[in-house]
Amino acid sequence: MDRVSLRGLRVRGHHGVFQREREEGQIFVVDVELGLDTRPAADGDDLTKTVHYGVLAEEIVAIVEGDPVDLIETLAQRIADVCLAHTPVQEAEVIVHKPDAPITVPFDDVTITIKRSRA
């Protein structure tokens, strides 16, 4: 299976369990890696036979900017669902980074990584 990746998509969202997170929002960073067979697209040089990563990026932004959720696990699942809605995509790995999570000790990043497939 071939891989198409979109990394470092930075989006402001209002997700989290604390009221301050919901009111002020924060930056989330999203990485996706998609598994699909790119041969049909390559054979015909045909964008319609692969995933249009520009369209996918806009869909991911809409999810992160959209309805708030408590958990980044929920956010990651919503992103995976949108990835798998693209017909050629057979599997999706989604990483949601929450670099400004409300943690009281020094840290670099908080992430959730999920893998979903059609199977």
pLDDT in tens, 100-115: 999 999 999 999 999 9
Residue 92 DSSP code: E
**What angle do the packed helices 72-84 and 53-65 form, to 10 degrees?**
150
Catalytic residue among 78, 86, 97, 98: 98
Residue 63 DSSP code: H
Strands 2-13 and 111-117, by their bridges, are unpaired
Residue 60's pLDDT is 98
Provide the token pair at 61. 């932004």
pLDDT, average across residues 7-11: 98
Q: Is 49 a catalytic residue?
A: no
pLDDT surpassing 90 at residue 119 = no
Q: How far apart are CA 83 and CA 79, in angstroms?
A: 6
